[in-house]
């Protein structure tokens, strides 16, 4: 039987490390990394909310925060953000995201193969 998880509340995503799942207390610190979406991908329905990101290489889904279009984060080029408990977790998440990106580029570049 497949385990079904409920969508977390935005407060949970804001206070939980996207990489290790550590619950970040009010005493902080809280780190974040911003990412750009793939061209042509529409994430407007998630603006001001959280969005699931399936990580094939990790076999799990992590949650990202999608700031509104007019926010400073979006104007700075960050289409979505991940909350982290440490720089070390940020480095590990960046590595995993880079691997996902490379795999995606390989798959999209193979569209012409039958």
pLDDT in tens, 18-65: 999 999 988 879 999 999 988 888 999 999 999 999 998 888 899 999
The DSSP secondary-structure symbol of 16 reads B
pTM of the full structure: 0.81
Please give the backbone phi and psi of residue 21, each rounded to the nearest 5 degrees, phi first. Answer: 80, 5
Kindly tell me if the per-residue pLDDT of 113 is higher than 60: no
CB of 75 within 8 A of CB of 8? no
Residue 114 pLDDT class (50, 70, 90 cuts): low
Asked if pLDDT for residue 111 goes beyond 90, the answer is: no
Mean pLDDT of 7-17: 88
- For residue 104, the model assigns a pLDDT of 75
């Amino acid at each position: 039987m497949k385990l079904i998880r409920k969508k977390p509340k935005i407060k949970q995503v804001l206070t939980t490390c996207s990489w290790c799942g550590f619950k970040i207390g009010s005493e902080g610190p809280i780190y974040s990394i911003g990412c750009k979406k793939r061209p042509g991908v529409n994430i407007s329905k998630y603006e001001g909310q959280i969005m699931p990101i399936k990580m094939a290489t990790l076999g799990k889904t992590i949650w990202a925060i999608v700031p509104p279009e007019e926010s400073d984060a979006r104007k700075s080029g960050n289409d979505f953000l991940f909350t982290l408990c440490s720089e070390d977790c940020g480095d590990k998440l960046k590595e995993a995201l880079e691997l996902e990106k490379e795999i995606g580029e390989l798959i999209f570049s193979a569209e012409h193969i039958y």
